[in-house]
């Protein structure tokens, strides 16, 4: 079967992935479908520039690879394959704390090859802060360029499919960043092994002061992930965050929160351009990336790649990143935009917009 878009990977992946995985709630996708385009015509679009700069690093397109845990459950090469594919695409991969490949293994991808090697590290804060310090310093030594602090999971949301399927890490795999610390294995439980692990290890006292604490143990910029309100966006900036990631954790933490694209405008307005804002959730098409950028010129969309990894390994992730790139470039051209700076709020219309008054020509 010839795969022509990202969502078609889902059907293939479901044949290979264990049934214990849960996915983004449908509203993250539906909200994108309710945004309509207002394309401009008769503009020379023979040349399209999709490059952008994030925290001083130039990337090939405003599409980054989202942090996803335990990728060897999807494919034997796991995070190593994803890292190579992201590097080949000239974009940034954010590595999860809960990986089945260590930070050092992922950092070693592409030796001797001309690879783009900018990576961020997503951090879960453990009760044992010495473990956190050690992990942050390992990531920094391995060449990672930013910390993505998960701020919306002091407890794990009620993930019913995990409970029904008794989710746990297979015995042949481990959380590689925590091997040797008696934290690398996930025991069986009566409901969800992951929920039990989080309850036992993750620090529920995590607060805004810890954003400041992290700045004392690393020179890497801190991005706060899980922001859905303007209030928290402003506090994040006051706490010294270098960037904000609008995310609802794939809809798996608290049900009935807004889709990320619906929360984006409030957050962007609150930041007043002081820090970059990222979108994590629901991005499956190049059109989604275009719809995100109308609000914030620096905003990249985070793309989950687990379906394509499960289906075809590194080759699948490469294909899906190329698909998103091609779709985004085509959307820009058909909307009359030659560079990212030309994408504006006037290029889209949403259900919450007030009636539009046409400007005088």
Binding residue ranges for glyoxylate: 159, 249, 252
Q: How far apart are CA 93 and CA 83, in angstroms?
A: 6
Binding-site positions for FMN:
67-69, 96, 122, 150, 225, 247, 280-284
Burial 294-323 (b: 16+ CB within 10 A, else e): bbbbbbbbbbbbbbbbbbbbbebbbbbbeb
Extract the annotated binding site: 67-69, 96, 122, 150, 159, 225, 247, 249, 252, 280-284
Alpha-carbon span 359 to 361, nearest angstrom: 6
Closest C-alpha among 56, 66, 51, 50 to residue 275: 56
Q: At what angle do helices 306-335 and 8-16 cross, to 10 degrees?
A: 180
What's the rounded Cα separation, in Å, for the pair 166 and 154? 21
Return the closest-CA partner of residue 296 out of 262, 361, 341, 258.
Answer: 341
Among candidate residues 53, 60, 52, 86, the one with its CA nearest the CA of residue 305? 86
Cα 219 to Cα 353: distance, rounded to the nearest angstrom = 41
Spatial separation of the C-alpha atoms in residues 248 and 206, rounded to whole Å: 18
Is 296 tagged catalytic?
no
Q: DSSP alpha helices (H): ranges in the chain?
A: 8-16, 26-33, 78-88, 103-107, 129-141, 160-164, 193-201, 208-217, 230-238, 260-271, 286-293, 306-335
Which of 249, 294, 296, 347 is catalytic? The answer is 249
Catalytically annotated residues: 249
């Amino acid at each position: 079967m010839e795969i022509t878009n990202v969502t078609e990977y889902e059907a293939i992946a479901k044949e290979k992935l264990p049934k214990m995985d849960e996915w983004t709630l449908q509203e993250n996708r539906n909200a994108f479908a309710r945004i309509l385009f207002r394309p401009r015509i008769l503009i020379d679009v023979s040349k399209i520039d999709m490059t952008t700069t994030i925290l001083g690093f130039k990337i090939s397109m405003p599409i980054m690879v989202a942090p996803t845990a335990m990728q060897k459950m999807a494919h034997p090469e796991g995070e190593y394959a994803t890292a190579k594919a992201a590097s080949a695409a000239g974009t940034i991969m954010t590595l999860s704390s809960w990986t089945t490949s260590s930070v050092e293994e992922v950092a070693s991808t592409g030796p001797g090859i001309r690879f783009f090697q900018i990576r961020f590290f997503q951090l879960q804060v453990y009760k044992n802060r010495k473990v956190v310090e050690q992990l942050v310093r390992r990531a920094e030594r391995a060449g990672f360029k930013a910390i993505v602090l998960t701020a919306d999971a002091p407890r794990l949301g009620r993930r019913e499919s995990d409970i029904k399927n008794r989710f746990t890490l297979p015995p042949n795999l481990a959380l590689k960043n925590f091997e040797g610390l008696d934290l690398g294995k996930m025991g069986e439980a009566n409901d969800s092994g992951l929920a039990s692990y989080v309850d036992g290890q993750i620090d529920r006292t995590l607060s805004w002061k810890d954003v400041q604490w992290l700045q004392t143990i690393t020179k890497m910029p801190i991005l706060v992930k899980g922001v859905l309100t303007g209030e928290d966006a402003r506090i994040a900036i006051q706490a010294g965050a270098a960037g904000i990631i609008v995310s609802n954790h794939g809809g798996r933490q608290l049900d009935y929160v807004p889709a990320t694209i619906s929360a984006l405008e409030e957050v962007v307005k609150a930041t007043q351009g002081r820090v970059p804002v990222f979108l994590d959730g629901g991005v499956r098409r190049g059109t989604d990336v275009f719809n995100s950028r109308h609000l914030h010129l620096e905003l990249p969309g985070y793309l989950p790649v687990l379906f394509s990894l499960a289906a075809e390994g590194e080759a699948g992730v490469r294909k899906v990143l190329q698909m998103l790139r091609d779709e985004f470039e085509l959307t820009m051209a058909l909307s009359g935009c030659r560079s990212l700076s030309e994408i504006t709020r006037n290029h889209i219309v949403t259900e919450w917009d007030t009636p539009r008054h046409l400007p005088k020509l």
